[in-house]
Amino acid sequence: MAEEKINPAVENVPQTDLATEVAAKAVEVSDVVEAEAPEIDIAEGAAEGLENDTDVYAKPINRRDVREALAQVAIPEESVPDDTPDDGRTPIIFLDNVQVVFKTRTGSLLHPNRVTAIKGSTIKLMPGETIGLVGESGCGKSTTANVMCGLQPVTSGKVYFKGKDVTKRTAADRKVIGRVLSVVFQDPATALNARMSIQDQLLDPLNVHNVGTPAERAKRVLDLLEMVGLPQSCLQALPGQMSGGQRQRVAIARALALNPDAIIADEPTSALDVSVRAQILNLLVDLKKELNLAMVFISHDIQTIRYISDRIIVMNKGVIVERGSAEQVFNHPKDEYTKLLLGAAPSLLHPDLGQGD
Ligand SMILES: Nc1ncnc2c1ncn2[C@@H]1O[C@H](COP(=O)(O)OP(=O)(O)O)[C@@H](O)[C@H]1O
Ligand SMILES: [Mg+2]
């Protein structure tokens, strides 16, 4: 799909405060991508361009049937309770019974309609582990991501970073959060400045946080490029001169600049061409292993989630309907919605994927 189609939607988002702006972008971009993705083309493209055995996207499914079936499933009143094993360590992020309610533009000024985007989520991200967050568009994944990285205030509940209560998100809290945690968005255009060279984009977080000497920063930029598999020749390039996959590599390099403990990747491959999705996914898998990163990986594709996650959380309309180890959720799903998600996404080229090892 052409990237030019995605960007105008992003630019049309009215300027509001940062949190709403980012949230709005996430919603609009995902809508545009889903609306414009011709289902049959994706399947054909994937089959043609299949280069390696990790192309988990190569599976023609009829999204419309799936959506209709999923929409029939009743939504439970309450989220499934947290099941994180307590091994004495402090979680990097701890969302304690978090609720987020948005006022929508529909309804009247005095009586705006409300959407509960997250209903009582408790999530602990432990050091070095990857949590996969999956559910259909609009189920509250991006809102959860935004709460985790301090962009979205909560309506009720608490947010802790490494044991510290940061629910109020002071400027000092945000600076700490920014060093511990980085975000990779669906559309790299969200993270990159179109007028800044790649070198300057990567230097920027180092300068803001006063890391090292100028020479050390320059060296760090080169290391970052190498980590994400980009040549040094792209240092002076502008984002517009690169492909979508290369831009997402730059966004990942920028996210890694400050040596974070954790990365939140919100649909990091969904806006990319099918042919480069598997490469970006593999890059993230390699990086999290090498750097021992914790990760929250968000996708509406349950097979992608399985590929990358240690633990899986399934959301339906703001409610956590299922959670457990990747093995549990895939081999012994308890929830009707999860079963549908799994059944609806057979991997034709990888019949074993999703069927247990
Ligand atoms: N800034 C916002 N203002 C109003 N409603 C919002 C805002 N952001 C998200 N929502 C609504 O909250 C729900 C969850 O959205 P989101 O977290 O973006 O879902 P996902 O990322 O799973 O697609 C949706 O119904 C969406 O329309
Ligand atoms: Mg989203």
Starting from the CA of residue 147, give the closest ligand: 1
**Nearest CA owner, ligand 1 atom 16:** 140
List, for residues 167-206, the tens digit of each pLDDT value: 998 988 888 888 889 999 998 887 899 999 999 999 999 9
Task: Please tell me the residue having the least CA distance from ligand 1 atom 8.
Answer: 23
Q: How does DSSP classify residue 250?
A: H
**Does residue 332 form part of some domain?**
yes
Tell me the CA–centroid distance for residue 124 and ligand 2, in Å: 20
Query: How many percent of the chain have pLDDT more than 90?
Result: 55
Distance CA(147)–CA(157), nearest Å, equals 11
Structure tokens at 239: 């984002």
SS3 at position 97: strand
Give the number of the atom of ligand 1 that is nearest the alpha carbon of residue 20: 1
Number of domains forming the structure of the chain: 1
For a ligand 1 pocket test, name from 15, 27, 98, 266 the mutation site with the most ligand atoms within 8 angstroms of its C-beta. Answer: 27
Is residue 351 one of the residues assigned to a domain? no
Distance CA 212, CA 207 (A): 9
> What residue numbers bound the domain in which 59 lies?
42-344
Q: What residue type is 159 in one-letter code?
A: V
Nearest residue (by CA) to ligand 1, atom 20, is 138
The per-residue pLDDT of the chain, averaged, comes to: 81
Residue 61's pLDDT is 54
Q: Lowest-pLDDT range, 38-47, 194-203, 277-286, 305-314? A: 38-47
pLDDT > 50? residue 78:
yes
Q: How do residues 313-350 score in pLDDT, each as one tens digit?
A: 999 999 999 999 999 998 999 999 998 888 765 443 34
Strand residues in the chain grouped as ranges (E): 93-107, 112-125, 130-134, 156-161, 164-165, 181-184, 262-266, 294-299, 311-316, 319-325
Closest CA to ligand 1's atom 13: 117
Beta-bridge partner residues of 325: 311
pLDDT in tens, 54-72: 444 444 456 677 778 888 8
| Ligand 1 center to 326 CA (angstroms) | 26
| Residues whose CB falls within 8 Å of the CB of residue 112, separated by 6 or more in sequence, listed in order | 103, 104, 105, 106
Q: How far is CA 91 from CA 262, 294, 319, 339, in A?
A: 11, 10, 21, 29
Asked whether residue 1 is domain-assigned, the answer is no
pLDDT tens digits along 225-284: 999 999 999 999 999 999 999 999 999 999 999 999 999 999 999 888 888 889 999 999
- 213 in a structural domain: yes
CA distance 135 to 25: 18
| Ion ligand 2 residue ranges (Cβ < 5 Å) | 26, 30, 141-142
Residue nearest to atom 12 of ligand 1 (CA): 117
**112 in helix, strand or coil?**
strand
What is the average pLDDT across 119-141?
A: 95
Q: What is the pLDDT, as a whole number, of residue 348?
A: 34
pLDDT on residue 349? 30
Task: Give pLDDT, residue 52.
Answer: 40
What is the tens place of the pLDDT at every residue in 138-157? 999 999 999 999 999 999 99
The least confident of 32-46, 112-126, 279-293 is 32-46
- Maximum separation of any 2 CA atoms in the chain, in Å: 59
Establish if 14 belongs to a structural domain.
no
> Is residue 35 situated within a structural domain?
no
pLDDT of residue 344: 65
What is the per-residue pLDDT for 14? 37
**Contact between 42 and 330 (Cβ < 8 Å):** no
d(CA 61, CA 71) in angstroms, rounded, equals: 17
CB 7 within 8 A of CB 25: no
Q: What pTM value is reported for the model?
A: 0.79
Residue 328, domain CATH: 3.40.50.300
What spacing in Å lies between the alpha carbon of 7 and ligand 2's midpoint?
A: 16
CA of 222 to the centre of ligand 1 (A): 37
CA distance 131 to 298: 8
Task: Estimate to the nearest angstrom the gap between the alpha carbon of 137 and the chain centroid.
Answer: 12
The answer to whether residue 27 sits within a structural domain is: no
Question: Which residue, 39, 54, 52, is CA-closest to 1?
Answer: 39
State the closest ligand 1 atom to the C-alpha of 135, by its place in the atom list counted from 1.
22
What is the distance in A from the centroid of ligand 2 to the CA of 26?
5
Is residue 32 situated within a structural domain?
Answer: no
- Contact by Cβ (8 Å): 237, 286: no
> Ligand 1 atom closest to Cα of 30?
23
**Atom 26, ligand 1: residue with shortest CA distance:** 138
